[in-house]
Amino acid sequence: MARKRAPTFDDQRAAILNHAAGLFARQGYFATSMNDVARECGMSKPSLYHYYRDKYALLLSIVDGHVTRLVDLVRPASAVPAVPERQLERLVVTFLEAYADAQSSHRVLTEDVKFLKEEDAALVLQKQRLVVRAFANAITLVRPALRSAQLESIVTMLLFGMLNWMFTWVRPGGALTHSDLAPIVCELFLNGVTGMNLPPAKDTKSPTAQQSSAHKRTSRTAKSL
């Protein structure tokens, strides 16, 4: 049997990051000690510090690495032209496939961003906005009237809610996978969006004064994402 090649520096860094992501996701960032991480990686703490300067570097690498992967994944999926409905479906499928392989990282992204320094958080938020915009664009192509009703961002965030909430109830090893859920989410969302009662899409220069009564007060879109 061939001896397994000694892991390189980069391999080790990747392995450590995976272990740390799992621990952070399960226990939270502050509840996880560097001793925990080292033990999980099967190395001493000083060895761990050889690969990462400090605990914060682990957090930042996990979060930034994951969101960067999402951006790189979503960009090509948006680039290839398709029927609007298929375009959006492809985005959802791509996104959920990424989830399946990176559940821990995604959980760290959504729960531990608050521990990032201002500057780092801004960087991550910027990349998240790219992902959100890709979805918002695809959604608007499916239902242009959403834009004039200023419901574009809101509806996009509702879709992200369905997707991002999955990590709380879809068990990693269970029979039900993220990919199984993609068509269900797509069908529910597409039916929901195309069925909404909205004023007809118009020239953006003359926004209609009469909106569906249900949406009167949602005159401003959310600024947070």
Partner DNA sequence: CCTACCGATCGGTAGG
Of 68 and 191, nearer to its own copies (C-beta) is 191
Sole window of 9-17, 35-43, 194-202, 203-211 interacting with its own copies (rule: CB under 8 A): 194-202
List of residues contacting DNA (CB under 7 A):
9, 30, 32-35, 43-47, 49-50, 53-56
Of 51 and 140, nearer to its own copies (C-beta) is 140
Give the integer Cα–Cα distance in Å for 95 and 52.
29
Of 50 and 75, nearer to DNA (C-beta) is 50
Sole window of 12-20, 23-31, 74-82, 134-142 interacting with its own copies (rule: CB under 8 A): 23-31
Nearest-10 Cα torsion for 70, 75, 159, 148? 150
- Nearest distance from residue 209's CB to its own copies, in Å? 18
Q: Is 4 in the site for its own copies (CB under 8 A)?
A: no
Handedness of CA 30, 109, 8, 1 (dihedral sign): positive
Tell me the three-class secondary structure of 37-63, residue by residue: HHHHHCCCHHHHHHHCCCHHHHHHHHH
> Which residue in this structure is represented by tokens 């909205």?
198
Of 56 and 160, nearer to DNA (C-beta) is 56
> Is residue 88 exposed (0-12), middle (13-18) or buried (19+ Cβ within 10 Å)?
buried
Q: Is 192 in the site for its own copies (CB under 8 A)?
A: yes
